[in-house]
Amino acid sequence: MNEPSSAQTAARPNLKDLNYAALQAQMAVWGEPKFRTRQLWQWLYVHHATEYAQMTNLPRALRERLAQFYRLDTPTLVDELWSADGLTQKLLFELHDGAMIESVGMAYDQRWTVCVSSQVGCAVGCSFCATGKGGFVRHLDTGEIVEQVLYFSRRLGATGEARPAAAPRAVSNIVLMGMGEPLLNYDRVWQAIEIWNDHRGFDLGARRITLSTAGVVPGILRLAEERLQVGLAVSLHAAEDGLRDQLVPLNKRYPLADLMAACHEYVDQTRRRVTIEYCLIEEVNDAPQQAHQLARLLRGLLCHVNLIPLNPVAAASTPEGSAFSTPSRDRVRAFQRVLTQSGLPATVRLRRGIDIQAGCGQLRQRHGKEKTNA
């Protein structure tokens, strides 16, 4: 079989952009028996094949036809960092068009969590986020989202070197909290979630998947109608519109009143609680009176507050030139105490990967600077 040219390769769609129904339809068009779809699906999402040659129970003619019409993308690993405690690893990938994204793997006692990117860059532009400072490039395709998890899964299954001895041998949780705003890439993200959840393949329970949003109200309302019970996390960071406009510019489009109404609607429709993510920035949003303000805003909402002390590596400058800082432990605990005394469940996130720039966008940003200075 003649190898396709580079132009032909670029023009071919990625096989992992297809859901099961689309793959089934393609097999039918080619006159393949129905069971071929399941075989192919298992090669992709059970065995995590990276080449058609590995799919040994498929006829050679079918493998050649697949290679002719579909790419089978695996991102190129550009850089890899491990935390000193061995519990967090950060990977920088280069995609087929040269774009770069980050993914993070985190080991806990009984689970291995992968933090996934949904876009190259981000258009939301949160003032303390390294990804937003690089601007928006493009949406990730379904296959590019799915493949981040499969990459970690291959490593965990193949060797103990990619995990601490006590960590599980498989991905157990997925969080869409990496680069980008998932709800601005809704269709591709949701298809990726369905692929991870599909019992014929990767078979990860929907409740083990959490999607984080900066507050895209139409996306939250759409998510409330979905059948899969994925988790919802809302990155709030401020309890009044003036400050949130500065920290999360998306608030100017979807102000707090609209966002809170959407969260209540989500809870009413799904009966699932919302995780409220609140990044604590010293003398910006961490005062006790701001904690009282947050408690009032969230009153009556089924939720849990996840307090996140600002990653010190991400202490980037504001447009005014003043640097953001990480609050002291005492300030963090005082803020938490106000919330719990108000009846809100609130925990402080275990900070992972600070020594390896695990906050989203930081490693990509560093590589961009190195290329510029080269």
pLDDT tens-place string over residues 133-151: 778 899 999 999 999 999 9
- Catalytic site positions: 102, 360
Total of domains in the chain: 2
Residue 367 has pLDDT above 90, yes or no: no
H or E stretch at 175: strand 173-176
Helices (H) and strands (E) in the chain, counts: 13, 12
Q: What is the pLDDT of residues 69-113, one digit of tens each?
A: 999 999 999 999 988 888 899 999 999 999 999 999 998 878 899
Residue 317 has pLDDT above 80, yes or no: no
Residue 33 lies in a domain: yes
pLDDT at 373: 45
30 and 163 inside one domain: no
Residue 229 lies in a domain: yes
Q: What is the residue range of 92's domain?
A: 76-373
Residue 173 lies in a domain: yes
Judge whether 149 and 171 are in contact, CB under 8 Å. Answer: yes
154 and 59 inside one domain: no
140 and 247 inside one domain: yes
Distance (Å, whole) CA 323 – CA 219? 32
Residue 1 lies in a domain: no
Residue that is last in its domain, among 69, 99, 119: 69
